[in-house]
């Protein structure tokens, strides 16, 4: 059983993944490695960053808390089952909604922040 977990990417919710992905690729001297209408992956020397389209997206109103920040971690794993068990053992909860459970598992940390365990993130 391999329960190794590493940060795979940081995902930013948005209404225009192409524009946000291009911004971060330019700012971080990275490159757009994958793009679709709803998702853009940016590869940098240090981390992967993704821009994810969210229906009815509303920008954060920080420091006012009317609209919270929209960021979640994608954690790269080799074995979804083992990583899920480990995360639950540490206090995470498996989310009721699982869009593609064969590719990633949506979890919530003890404070309710969402994160994903995924086998789809390259080294």
Strands 48-53 and 93-94: unpaired
Task: Render 3-62 in DSSP notation, one character per residue.
Answer: --EEEEEEEEEES-HHHHHHHHHHHTT-EEEEE-SSEEEEE-SS-EEEEEE-TT-----T
At residue 88, what are phi and psi to the nearest 5 degrees? -65, -40
Q: Which superfamily does 5-118 belong to?
A: 2,3-Dihydroxybiphenyl 1,2-Dioxygenase, domain 1 (3.10.180.10)
Say which residue the tokens 């389209």 belong to: 53
Q: Where are the domains of the chain?
A: 5-118
Tokens of 40: 């853009």
Q: pLDDT truncated to tens, each residue of the chain (123 aa)?
A: 677 888 889 999 899 999 999 989 998 899 999 999 999 999 999 889 999 999 999 888 877 889 887 777 888 899 999 999 999 999 999 999 899 999 999 988 877 778 899 998 877
pTM exceeding the 0.85 threshold for the entire prediction: no
Distances (CA, A) of 43 to 19, 65, 79, 108: 15, 31, 23, 25
């Amino acid at each position: 059983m391999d329960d190794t977990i590493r940060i795979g990417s940081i995902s930013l919710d948005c209404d225009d993944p192409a524009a946000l992905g291009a911004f971060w690729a330019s700012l971080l001297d990275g490159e757009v490695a994958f793009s679709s209408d709803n998702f853009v992956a940016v590869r940098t020397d240090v981390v992967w960053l993704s821009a994810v389209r969210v229906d009815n997206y509303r920008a954060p109103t920080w420091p006012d808390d009317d609209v919270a920040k929209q960021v979640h971690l994608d954690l790269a794993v080799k074995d979804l089952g083992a990583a899920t068990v480990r995360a639950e053992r540490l206090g995470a909860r498996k989310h009721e909604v699982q869009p593609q459970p064969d590719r990633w598992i949506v979890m919530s940390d003890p404070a309710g922040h969402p994160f994903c365990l995924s086998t789809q993130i390259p080294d």
